[in-house]
Amino acid sequence: MHDIRAIRENPAAFDAALSRRGVENASAPVLALDEERRAAIHAAETAQAAQNAASKDVGKAKASGDEAEFERLRALVAEKKAEVAEMQTKAKELDAQLTDMLMGIPNLPFEDTPDGADENDNVEIRRWGEPKSFDFTPKEHYELPAVIPGMDFETAAKLSGSRFVVLSGAVARVHRALAQFMLDTHVEENDLSETWTPVLVLDEMMYGTGQLPKFGEDSYQTREGWWLVPTAEVTLTNIVNGATVEESYLPRRYVAHTQCFRSEAGSAGRDTAGMLRQHQFEKVEMVSITHPEKSREEHDRMTKCAEGILEKLGLPYRTVVLCTGDIGFGARRTHDLEVWLPGQNQYREISSVSVCGDFQARRMNARFKPGEGGKPEFVHTLNGSGLAVGRCLIAVLENGQQEDGSVDLPEALHPWLRGKTRIAADGTLV
């Protein structure tokens, strides 16, 4: 959420930043509503002062024995009281409207976030690894003989409908091993704190990280009102919701492996084959809560943590900076990691690492006390996939495929598979 004082002080800068995201003249309705709200607050305070003065006069009239004046003033106080209550209600309504308006406006991109209209304008900043050259035409993951016995879309459709999958046997085991490998690496080598969180959250938590009110249709809600998390970003970031921590508490670096749920409302017809885009999937999510002066440095650190997982697995990837037309609602700058999928002959997203500044912290009212004293300040928040487990499984299967239909598995994964090294063409782990 945005600071209304900053908008008042420099509306031109606010509008210029948002125009890079295709949002024009955003400050005008905000400032108009803010002016109306402030006028209502002033009117309520003025009426309250008049009520207080009349109340004192009531006491004086009572003490003097002027019964007629006493009754007149008492009626006036009652009238002022009703007037004040009405004005205060109006001011609260306008304040809520302003909050809702501010919550619906996306974050301001950093100056070095590249301008652009969509994903075609994203900027590649580095590559790692060379895509493997095959002596045969590589298949997509769901076409591989080694994978077919363990990846069942028909049964999943019977159970739950489209965009679900049932994994079994060797494929399920590799999927689980990948998640364990990611967690252990982040905890033991990257100094992240392993955390286990619920996947059902309250409205306030979704508001805190920006999924609500604007993107409710992208998530699932239960009859009881809980939301199924689209990612552990929601729970991990909201650990500091409403808290004021000591500066020495920062940074906090969390990692969690959870089920994630997305309705994919805006992706009809996209990536319907295989398990690239599912309603239910698993992610190992990283979240950092930092001092404002350290958030850009932390963004690069988190990106390296995610890249390191791909490098350990020997998976070629490229890192791109998202342009203003492709960046997420709450992000100021985002690095996407795109892994090479030989079956599709292209790079596909496997991680997004974003720095949000104080945008989420304002929504959550999450602050820290400066060590040298002074007023509490808002923390900065960051989040990133480390990695999407299902997409990593796809990349491992496609990059390790052999002409005989088997799949060679990355050496880094062998310890988590009890020394097993490949999936044979008949689907067994050997």
Q: Which residues of the chain are in CATH 1.10.287.40 domains?
A: 4-103
Annotated binding site for ATP: 262-264, 349-352
pLDDT at 50: 81
Write the single-letter amino acid at 282.
E
Cβ atoms of 224 and 263 within 8 Å: the answer is no
pLDDT at 267: 58
**What's the chain's length in residues?**
430
Can you tell me the distance from the alpha carbon of 74 to that of 54, in angstroms, rounded to the nearest whole number? Answer: 8
Please name which of 295, 275, 286 lies closest in space to residue 383, comparing C-alpha atoms. 286
Enumerate residues 6+ apart whose C-beta is below 8 A from 194: 183, 186, 187, 255, 256
Can you tell me the distance from the alpha carbon of 321 to that of 351, in angstroms, rounded to the nearest whole number? Answer: 12
Q: Is the pLDDT of residue 167 over 70?
A: yes
DSSP per-residue letters across 2-17: --HHHHHH-HHHHHHH
Residue entry with tokens 């500066």:
247
369-383 burial: b if 16+ Cβ within 10 Å, else e? beeeeeeebbbbbbb
pLDDT at 185: 98
Cβ atoms of 2 and 362 within 8 Å: the answer is yes
Cβ atoms of 170 and 211 within 8 Å: the answer is no
Helices (H), 216-337: 233-237, 295-312
Which two structure tokens, joined as six digits, stand for 100? 């809702």
CATH topology of domain 4-103: Helix Hairpins (1.10.287)
pLDDT at 270: 64
Cβ atoms of 219 and 233 within 8 Å: the answer is no
pLDDT at 275: 94
User: What are the tens digits of pLDDT across the range 352-406?
Assistant: 999 999 999 999 999 999 999 999 999 999 999 999 999 999 999 999 999 999 9
Q: Which residues pair with 36 in a beta bridge?
A: none
Helices (H), 120-211: 153-160, 169-188, 203-209
Q: What is the pTM of this model?
A: 0.92
| CATH superfamily name and code, 119-423 | Bira Bifunctional Protein; Domain 2 (3.30.930.10)
User: What are the tens digits of pLDDT across the range 240-279?
Assistant: 999 999 999 999 999 999 999 999 765 556 677 899 999 9
Enumerate residues 6+ apart whose C-beta is below 8 A from 375: none
pLDDT at 265: 67
Q: Is the pLDDT of residue 71 over 70?
A: no
Q: Which residues pair with 246 in a beta bridge?
A: 369
Which two structure tokens, joined as six digits, stand for 58? 């009531």
pLDDT at 61: 66
More confident: 361 or 73: 361
Strands 123-128 and 200-201, by their bridges, are unpaired
pLDDT at 56: 74
Q: Which residues are catalytic?
A: 262, 277, 349, 352, 391
User: What are the tens digits of pLDDT across the range 289-333?
Assistant: 999 999 999 999 999 999 999 999 999 999 999 999 999 999 999
Q: What rounded mean pLDDT belongs to the chain?
A: 94
Cβ atoms of 254 and 278 within 8 Å: the answer is no
Q: What phi and psi values does residue 9 have, to the nearest 5 degrees?
A: -70, -30
User: What are the tens digits of pLDDT across the range 268-288?
Assistant: 566 778 999 999 999 999 999
Enumerate residues 6+ apart whose C-beta is below 8 A from 154: none
Q: Which residues pair with 351 in a beta bridge?
A: 337
Cβ atoms of 111 and 332 within 8 Å: the answer is no
Q: Which residues of the chain are in CATH 3.30.930.10 domains?
A: 119-423
